[in-house]
Each structure stands twice: as C-alpha cells, then as structure tokens.
Structure 1
Amino acid sequence: MIVVGAGIAGLATALRLAPLPVRVLTAGALRENTATAWAQGGIAAALGHDDAPALHQADTEAAGVGLVDPAVARAVTAAAPECLAQLEQWGARFDRTPQGDWALGLEGAHRRRRVVHVGGDGSGVAILNALIQQVRSTPSITVSENTPVNGLLADAGGVHGVRLAEGALPGRAVVLATGGLSGLYAETTNPLGAVGAGIAMAARAGAGVTDAEFVQFHPTAMAVGRDPMPLATEALRGEGATLVNGAGERLMADTPGGDLAARDVIARRIHAALAAGDRVYLDGRRAIGSAFAERYPSVHAACRAAGIDPATQLIPIRPAAHYHMGGIAVDDRGRTDLPGLWACGEVACTGLHGANRLASNSLLEGLVFARWIAEDIAASPVRSVADAGDGPTPPTATVPTAPWVAPWIRALMSRSVGVVRDNDGLARAIDALSAVAFDRDDPQRDHALTALLVATAAQRRCESRGGHLRRDFAHTQSPPPARQALTLAALCPQPPATHEPLVAAGGPVR
C-alpha cells in the first residue's frame, strides 16, 4: 500500500493499516510543508456533560449551509471520541483541567465547548510529533522523505501505483493525503506547498472533483507582512477577544453569533470593511492580556516577531485562504471513483463540510476517515499490476511540476477567485488558467489545473453560499443547487490532442 502525504490524514491511515505493509511518501522531510503542523486549533468532539454527537452534527450541518451530507456528519461526530482515545494511545497528550477532565475550548459556530487542544495553540505540531514517533516505531511502515510524486499509474482498470522521478512505484492501493490548495492564493495561512497536487493528480487520472468552488477564508489571519500569514486562532475569540474597526468599534456587534459567527460570515464582514478603506483588528487585551504567552504561545511569538505585544496592542487581521471544502469526490469509505484509489483529509470531499467547514472539524475528518479507509483497504480484494490488463500507463513526457506556484497565479486567484467573486473576474481567470493547465510543457500546469477547477466551479454556481460569495448573485437559493462534480474532458469545441479539458460530469455525486 502507498500513502502519499505525511500529515495527520496520511500518518493515521498508515497506522490504521498496520500490520499491512505501507510506504508513506512525502515530498519533503517529515513535519515540513504539512498544514497539520501549523494547526493552532484542536479537534472537535462531543465530550462535555452538556454535549452529544447529535449536537455536534447539528452545528456541522448549520455551518455547511445546506450542503453537508447528514449521514457523513452523523457518522463522523459519533466516531470522534474513539479517535481521540486512539490518539492518546499513540502518544498525544491533550490539555486537561486541574481535575483531570478535558479542557474544552469554544470556537466559532459551536454551541458547546467541545474543542480539545494540545499545548494551547500548538495542537497540530504536538499531534503530528506523536504520530511521527508512533510511525517510526511501527515495523510495517516505511517512510520515504524527499520523495515527490509526479502522478498516478492508471489505466481502465483503475490506479495501480504512482510515478516518481526515478520511475514507477506499483501498489495494491494508493491513498492520497496530500492536503489542500490554499497556497494557490497570495494571502494564505497554509504552507506554500499546499497547492492541490493530489487534486491535479487524481483529475488527470480521471477522478471527479466535487465542490471545488468552496474555499474557506479564515477571518483572522495576521496582516503583519509575512507569507504565509500567521494565524490568530479562533480560540482567542472563544475566550472573549473581539473584532474592532479602525475606530475601535465592535465589528460584529450587530451580527447573530457576534465574534463567534461562522467563518464565512465574519470573513465577508472583514472583507467589506477593508474594501471600504477601514482597518480591522483583533483585540485580546482585556480578555487574555498578560496570559497570551502562556496560553497562546504561537500567536504570541508571531506577534512579537512583528513588533506587536498582543497583551497591550491590537493585532491587525484580514481574511486569508485557509481550507478547501471541496476536493476529490469520495464515498463514505474514502473511495474515489477510480478502483485502487482512496483519498483522505483535506484533499478529499467527503460531504462533511458542505459550503463552510465548522471550526476544528478538519483534523477530526482526517482521523475518522483514516480508520474507515484502512478498514476498506484491508477488506478489499487483493489487486496487483498484473490485474490491470495492459498494465499501468507509462510515465508521460511532461515537464515536472514546479515546486512553488507562480506569483501571477496566486495574485489572480486572490483577485478573481477570492472572498468575493463575479462572472467577469472568473471568466478572466478561467481564460488565463486554461492556457497553462493544458500545456504539457509548462511546469505550472498542475497548479493552473487545480486553480481552474476552483474558478470553473465558482463560475457555474450562480448563488452565494458559505465560502462562495458572488457579487453578481448575492442570494442563496432554496433548495440549494446540486453539488458539482468536475472531470477532465472536452472543454473547448476542438481541443488540441494534448489537452485534458474540463467539463461538468453527469450523474450523482458521491
């Protein structure tokens, strides 16, 4: 078995597959360029005496604005406590109260305290360190660092391995756990290597991509001149920090949910204020004050590096690309529509997040689906390259994908496919990206393809919903339009033979 990616989704999948032999491939070193290590928020789970999985499910569905799959939300929220128990067995040490109970945090759009953390705002790296240690002590898992994957080995029979720089690597099963695509944007809180590589690989092999238009812009990225932008965790607002404008007035005072409204609601309000020439800040001086360094060391360090003392000064913030709700279409076992290929974590679209992810459901989704995917692979008939008829597709002669996204693509995505969109901007983006996405000789082709999927889906959704806001279609339709699946096929009337064009796929979305 091959797992591509070494964040929480990839490593948890490898551990759940034990004792089956697994090779984990990561483009860099462990901990490098994985969004898990940057996650300040924790993991949502109904653990409090006043909470229940059904309440967690209801909050997940409400945040997703009509596009959450209720069956998936029900199953994931029910599985959350067991996944946390497994993480503890793997070595994660969650924050506890002096009485030994879970220290539960409150985040936006949650009606209960249900977010568990490790080390305050350092949850991601602490959890990742525990998983890495466990992986290194598991004999059935081999980790290949600095091993970028260039594509999938696929034919009519499905996926049979991956392409590496040194040649083909066959595998009975391939799990893509390559993370999101927010690095395609000029303003992002993600590692710059989060460029949707898994989506591009899967799409070029023929897999469907669903809900690509829904990108979550975190409302409180710190506007301190860094790229990527440091994140001011939502937990700050859960503990009483407030959003204020340049005059010091509460920005969200007249909005249901206030400073803890859903992320899409707050991001839109901040974007509007900034577009009008105002400034927006996060004010944690009274609510947190001198406790910043102890309770939120990552935020405190980022502030001090920018010359800001958050205990006495305001933190300048703005929305930034943070999470992709869309991704490779999968079913409730993480299976794509290509035999032999599974997808886990942010690269996948499971139906859990709908149009807007509920805070701290991302690490949870990766953990839960890692278990389900491992169980499904273990129960699947043994497949080999020999089962593929004529064998896997040989490596193509395309130029290798560039490791980083061209600045013009990032600027285009932020300008035309950002917090606010309209048809004219999306059309310009589609034209520019199409010219590159289907050029076999352009090293930016995969970056452009993933960006094109987002822009095309955004143009086709003629409404505003969750992370997708159309200036020219400000209403939200009821009932919601069908979820969109995109595949590669003939977009142009007479595409060149080397093109792998993009169209909407028919049939139900899994």
Structure 2
Amino acid sequence: MSEILEGLRDRVVIVGSGLAGLMAALTLAPEPTVIVTRAALGGETSSAWAQGGIAASIGKDDSAALHLADTLAAGDGLCDAKVAARILAEAPAAITALERAGVAFDRDSEGALSLGLEAAHSLRRIVHAKGDGSGAAIVRALVDAAARTPSITILEGYEARRLLLDGDRIAGLLCATERGTVILPSSRVVLATGGIGGLYDATTNPTGNFGQGIALAARAGALLADMEFVQFHPTALDSRRWPLALVSEAVRGEGATLLNERSERFMAGVEGAELAPRDVVARAISAEIARGGRVYLDARRALGDSFTRRFPVIDALCREAGVDPSRNLIPVRPAVHYHMGGVATDEQGRSSVSGLWVIGEAASTGLHGANRLASNSLLEAAVMGLRAGRDIAGIVANRVKLPQQQVNVAAPDASLVRPIVSSHLGVLRNAGSIQGAIEALLPLADGDGPAADPALVALLIAVFAGLRTESRGAHARTDFPLKLPDSQRRRMNLPDALDTASSMTFNSLARSA
C-alpha cells in the first residue's frame, strides 16, 4: 500500500520545477502549494539549459503586433492567432514579474534592457541574462524565491508516476520515492514537466525528459494536440557529449554563417539565410549531412575574440570539445530541442480533465503552431505559469475520494524506445518510417514494463505524424512534400490514438499479405 500524505491534502500540487512550474507556485503564494520534482529544485529542467532568453516586444520600434506577425510566420499556418496575440501581449508584464522575483536581466550602458536577435525575428527582442546563460540565471533566481516562500513545500526526489481520478476529475498524484510510493491527495494538479527530448539519441534536452507529463495526462483521459511537431534545433554542437550541447541561434543572430565541408555557404540563397525559421535551417543541414557532408558554424569574422565575452557558456562547451570558436569552425548538427505538441489546454492552462492544468512545454496552447519561434518558449512558460497560478487561486479545493485499487508502475526507461524514435521519427519522415515506428512501439506501449510510458509518448507522435499527410513546419514528409491548403490542428485522446495505431498496423499487414 502507498503512504497517503494527509498533512499535504488539498494543496495545489505542481509537478516540475522549471520556469513554468516555479512561476505558478510563486503566483499562487500564499496559497499552500507543493512542488514535486524528481531531481533537486530547478535541476534537470530544460528551462535551466536555455541559452537565448525570452522574446518580448519591449524595444522602441517593436510592438506586440510585430511579434505576433513573426510568430505566425514561423508557425506555418497552424498557430491559434487569438491565443498567440494574448500570450505575446503579456510579455512585458512577464519580464516585470521575473525581475520582481529576483531575475537580473542584462542591460546596456544606458540602463535599458539589452536585446538580442534570433532567427525569424524581424527585430532585436530577446531579453537575456548573463549573456547566453539566461535559463540558468532565471531558474536560479526563481529557485531562491521559492525557497524563501513559506507557502511552498518542496518535495525533491519524488517522481510522478500516475494521476489518480475520482470519476472523471483529479483526485491526487502517485509518486515514487526512495522509501516507496506515496500519494498526494489533491483536486488541483499542475503538470509542468518539460519536453520529449529524451526519446531521441540526438537532443539538447535533459535525457530523462521523455514526455512524462504527456503520458500522465493521456492516461488520465486528457486531449492531446499536434503531437507530430517536434522541433530540431539546427545547430547542436556535433561532439561525443550526450546530450548534445546547444549552440544558440543567437550566435547566428550576431552574424555567424553556416558552411559545409567544401566551405560553401549553402543557406545564402534561402530567404532569411542563416536566420530562416528553424525547420528550414534544420532540413537544409540534414540534407548536407545526408549526402555525406559535414556542417560548420563560422563565427570567426562576425565575433572573433569577442565570442568568449558574448557567449561564455557556448565558448566553454566548444573548448570542452576541443574547438576554439573565435578561431575554429564549430561542427554542428540538428538535434531535438522543443516539442510544439502536448496536452491541449485553454488560455488558463486548463486541460480537458477537471482539476488538471498543464503549462510550459508539456502543453499545447496554440502559440507555436507547426514551428516555434525562437525564445517564445520561455515567454510562454512564464506567461502560462502566471495565468495558471491566478486561475487556480480562485478555485476552492474539492473533497475527492481516492481510488481503492492502486497500481504499481515501473520506473520509466526510454532506452528501448530511443533507437526506434531516432531511426523512424527524425527530421525527414515518410509512410514507411512512420509505420515502422508504430509497429515497434505499439507492443511496448501496451505493456506494463519500464518502456511503457516512453513508448506511449513516442507512439502518439507517430500516430499524429501518420495522419498529417503534408510537410509543414517541423513535420517534413518526403512522400508528401507539399502543404495542404486547408490544414488544421488536430486533437485526440489516448483511446482514439491507440485505435488509430492498431488500424494503421492492421492495414499495413493487410497490404503486405
């Protein structure tokens, strides 16, 4: 039997301690809140690894309308324009809230916020901290703020395994700890668990992040959206390090160019060149590598000796790999960096399950569409953390009944899933690769072993990918290279997705018989 933590009953439970989760907890104060985190507070979060910063239209010549135009263009026709407009309009307020929480953003000699330029942005609007150490600086400040807040209880070393239901509403959370499983009884749970990079060999994310929040929500009955859209960052440092180190596109924003092994600037003839949307650049680099070539980032002329001062984190990572970025070409390759899909939510972070909010990368609000605009991720995490916190604060805890029968859930392990996903659901896809993924993943997802939850998330990506018979944004199919004129976002629950997967497998076997 699992221990029930009665002393924490009815408190808001937040799973995850990245930017979104911390902002929600701080916004809820003085409402009693529990943060559940597998690692140390703020550890193993994608937020802390972010280099670029937060996109915000605060420059003299900038506006929320211009930011929206860039976001919609990058989203390739699948952004929810109304949702996007409202989130982007709150960027200045989010920056202010972060500063009040203790974040010290970089400022210029006149005291104004220093703004960087990244791909597909028409103006400089990236607010950053400590150069390219923005994520770490932001999370560190919020961790300190949370630790000082009496209303926040922090449970480190607690891994969320299942959401518990009372009928069709949230009743609590089952967690694994060193001393066994425990239950947090609560009618209000927030999932802020990050992305799915750990499903891939080549990723810039913490390798333990395989989409836990998506698996939890899906098994609880939540609707999912746009699962096929996995963003590959074009320029991960091509080295033996795992996960791969990120070379922020802010480096390209400062003038660095992409070259192949023949010293050809292969992006020169593409609209936007090196600062084209990420999906465009990632596909171009993948094509160079697929033909047997190599790709390099050349920052020698644009930055030279100033590279170390402007990008100290990237400089250290390059030198760790034996590269002096001020004098050497930086070898790069695409790697999974962000997931535009996730649990479908409304503008307050509410999922389709009563009592369940999902925020940050685990959610799909409609802001990003088919391809996230650079540095809109931390912005969304901050804004949706604020919104969810305000929304939950107005909702009284319900008295819920915990289920009598409790399940034992194996510790998740993505090692069996990773080679399948890496081979079949990469930058370029086709019917054969998608079908291969579904056939390999379905039996793992149907089981109850360590691979079940990672396989389930990967299977959902494959099913959504199989249903999208076009190339759009981060979803590129060699067998359907064109865009459909009436493309729309797709939502689906887990039973329907499993039925679709089974049908796809059956139809494939029938065709080959």
Distance 1:281 1:492 in 2: 44
Are residues 490 and 213 of structure 1, via their aligned partners in 2, closer, same or farther at CA, if it must alter by over 3 Å? closer
Letter in 2 for 1:446: D
5 Å-filtered alignment, 1:173-322, equals: 173-322=188-337
Distance 1:212 1:148 in 2: 23
- In the alignment, structure 1 residue 401 sits paired with structure 2 residue 399: no
Task: Calculate the TM-score normalised by the size of structure 1.
Answer: 0.93
Are residues 324 and 490 of structure 1, via their aligned partners in 2, closer, same or farther at CA, if it must alter by over 3 Å? closer
1:411 is matched with which residue: 391, 410, 419? Answer: 419
Are residues 435 and 465 of structure 1, via their aligned partners in 2, closer, same or farther at CA, if it must alter by over 3 Å? same
> Structure 2: which 5+ residue stretches go unaligned?
1-11, 506-513
**What residue in structure 1 maps to residue 460 of structure 2?**
453
Is the Cα contact below 8 Å between 2:169 and 2:187 reproduced in 1? Answer: no
Are residues 467 and 24 of structure 1, via their aligned partners in 2, closer, same or farther at CA, if it must alter by over 3 Å? same
5 Å-filtered alignment, 1:366-445, equals: 366-386=381-401, 391-392=402-403, 394-398=405-409, 400-402=410-412, 404-406=413-415, 408-440=416-448, 442-445=449-452
Percent identical pairs in the alignment equals 50
**How well do the aligned residues superpose, as a CA RMSD in angstroms?**
1.6
Q: CA deviation at 1:477?
A: 0.9
Q: CA deviation at 1:494?
A: 13
Give every structure 1 segment of 4 or more consecutive aligned residues whose post-TM-superposition deviation is greater than 4 Å: 492-495
Letter in 1 for 2:233: H
5 Å-filtered alignment, 1:30-41, equals: 30-41=41-52
1:319 partner SS: strand
Letter in 1 for 2:269: D
Encode CA deviations 1:47-68: one digit per residue, 9 max, x unaligned. Answer: 1111001111111111000110
Is the Cα contact below 8 Å between 2:442 and 2:501 reproduced in 1? Answer: no
**What residue in structure 2 maps to residue 152 of structure 1?**
163
Letter in 1 for 2:417: I
- In the alignment, structure 1 residue 466 sits paired with structure 2 residue 466: no
Are residues 393 and 174 of structure 1, via their aligned partners in 2, closer, same or farther at CA, if it must alter by over 3 Å? farther
Is the Cα contact below 8 Å between 1:79 and 1:368 reproduced in 2? Answer: yes
Encode CA deviations 1:9-38: one digit per residue, 9 max, x unaligned. Answer: 111000011110000000011232111111
1:350 is matched with which residue: 349, 365, 368? Answer: 365
Letter in 1 for 2:414: V
> Structure 1: which 5+ residue stretches go unaligned?
496-500, 502-510
Is the Cα contact below 8 Å between 1:437 and 1:446 reproduced in 2? Answer: yes
Q: CA deviation at 1:489?
A: 4.5
5 Å-filtered alignment, 1:324-343, equals: 324-343=339-358
Number of residue pairs the alignment of both structures matches: 488
Distance 1:232 1:29 in 2: 25
Q: CA deviation at 1:167?
A: 2.6
**What residue in structure 1 maps to residue 131 of structure 2?**
120
Encode CA deviations 1:251-281: one digit per residue, 9 max, x unaligned. Answer: 2100000110000000000001110111110
1:72 partner SS: helix
Distance 1:221 1:253 in 2: 20
Distance 1:179 1:490 in 2: 22
**What residue in structure 2 maps to residue 20 of structure 1?**
31
Q: CA deviation at 1:393?
A: 6.1
Are residues 96 and 204 of structure 1, via their aligned partners in 2, closer, same or farther at CA, if it must alter by over 3 Å? same
2:428 partner SS: coil
Letter in 1 for 2:441: L
**What residue in structure 2 maps to residue 139 of structure 1?**
150
Task: Calculate the TM-score normalised by the size of structure 2.
Answer: 0.93
